[in-house]
Amino acid sequence: MPSEPRIPTEPTLEELSAYLDHELDAGAQARVAEHVAGCAECTRRLNGLRETVSAVRALPMETPNRTFTIPSERRQSFRWAPVGWLGGAAAALLIIVVGVNQLHGPGSALGTALTSRGANAPAAGLSRPEVAPLNGSNQYAAADAQKFSSNSTTVVDPRNSSRSLTVGTDARSYSATGVIALHVTTNGLSAAEASSVRLFVTRDSGYSVRLAPPSKESTFPFNYDAAYSVPQMQLQAPVEGNYTLRVEIDLSDHSTLVARLPLTITP
């Protein structure tokens, strides 16, 4: 660091500032101290700077009010990209659409739609019925267990990294007549926390369909497999488009773990 010997001369603003940070070399540090000790004006300047530094350092460290996540696989990451990335995002979408996975659920299985009672449901979803999982869908899902790694996300409690929520689906893209099989697990959460789980399929234009939560007899540690029929969701036409599967769990400290997975529905 260039700090030429300017012994008794007045230290510059830079020198005073770096002096406070102990970022001058030892010689310069001593020279500034020596000068300041005998100079009322520089003492005043240094104290003013020092108070400013304390004021800035006293700013509270704030806690973000959401969790940060990474997609399950690097190159397939899907998100609302900055404008400069649209080309790449469009290409990714194309691959997703081309690679349509035609899925059909068990033909006879029709679940009962329950009424939403969720005070926590997004406003747009309040008047819509919940979509029940298909009967026997846990077996359906279990048979495809290995597929869940293809589209999954994990969110971690920012205050305790051993607590997490993982959501996976068996594909990223579904046909409008398909079945979405999903797998939800939690780590380190209490039964009460895990049972607050809420599931939504949200259109990128804003409206949500709520999926009926797992039945009471779900096993703990929380481990939920279910399949939902896309037609039963009665999505608004045109059905094809980009959606997000959103899974929320209320934690005992009144914060919420939110996991999101992109889904595409094709005609």
Partner 1 sequence: MFPSKSSNDDRDLVGRARRGDREAFTQLIVQYQVPLYNMALRMVGKPDDAADITQEAFLRAWEKIRTLREAPFKSWLFQIAANLCYDHFRRGRRFGVMPDEDQTSLQASNVVGLGIATPDPQERTEANARTRLVRDSIQALDHDMRIAIVLRDVNGMAYEEIAAVLRVPLGTVKSRIARARAQVQERLQQHPDFFPTREDAHAE
- Residue 253 interacts with partner 1 (CB under 8 A): yes or no: yes
- The answer to whether residue 117 forms part of the interface with partner 1 (CB under 8 A) is no
Helix (H, G, I), strand (E, B) or coil at 75: coil
Choosing from 6, 89, 113, 120, the residue that interacts with partner 1 (CB under 8 A) is 120
Q: State yes or no: residue 217 binds partner 1 (CB under 8 A).
A: no
Place of tokens 């240094």: 46
- Closest by Cα among 133, 166, 162, 125 to 260: 166
Question: Would you count residue 144 as binding partner 1 (CB under 8 A)?
Answer: no
Helix 40-57 to helix 13-20 angle (10° resolution) is 50
Terminal Cα distance for the chain, rounded: 65
Distance CA 154, CA 261 (A): 10
- The token pair at 153 is 């996300």
Near partner 1 by CB under 8 A: residue from 8, 9, 26, 58: 58
**Residue 26 in contact with partner 1, rule: CB under 8 A:** no
Q: Applying CB under 8 A, does 53 fall inside the site for partner 1?
A: yes
Nearest alpha-carbon partner for 121 in 231, 192, 209, 184: 209
Cβ neighbours of residue 162 closer than 8 Å, sequence gap 6 or more:
187, 188
The verdict on 267 binding partner 1 (CB under 8 A) reads no
136 vs 40: CA distance, rounded Å = 83
Kindly tell me which of 60 and 238 has the beta carbon lying closer to partner 1: 60
Q: Which is nearer to partner 1, 158 or 188 (CB)?
A: 158
Stretch that binds partner 1, among 38-46, 140-148, 176-184, 223-231 (CB under 8 A): 38-46
Residue 43 binding partner 1, by CB under 8 A: yes
**CB 73 → partner 1: shortest distance, Å?**
9
Q: Which stretches of 58-199 are DSSP H helices?
A: 86-98, 137-143, 191-194
Residues 152-211 binding partner 1 (CB under 8 A) are 154, 156, 158-159, 161, 164, 198, 200, 202-206, 208
The one among 59, 127, 216, 219 contacting partner 1 by CB under 8 A: 59
Q: How many CB atoms lie within 10 A of CB 210?
A: 25
CA angle 214-265-137, nearest 5°? 30
Q: Is the Cβ of residue 66 or residue 104 nearer to partner 1 in the bound state?
A: 66
Least separation in angstroms between CB 109 and partner 1: 28
Choose between 138 and 153: whose C-beta lies nearer to partner 1.
Answer: 153
Of positions 7, 26, 61, 98, contacts partner 1 by CB under 8 A: 61
CB of residue 29 to partner 1, shortest distance in Å: 13
φ, ψ at 70 (rounded to 5°)? -125, 150
Amino acid at 110: L
Q: Closest CB to partner 1 among 105 and 262?
A: 262
Single residue of 83, 112, 127, 237 touching partner 1 by CB under 8 A: 83
Tokens found for residue 55: 């004021």
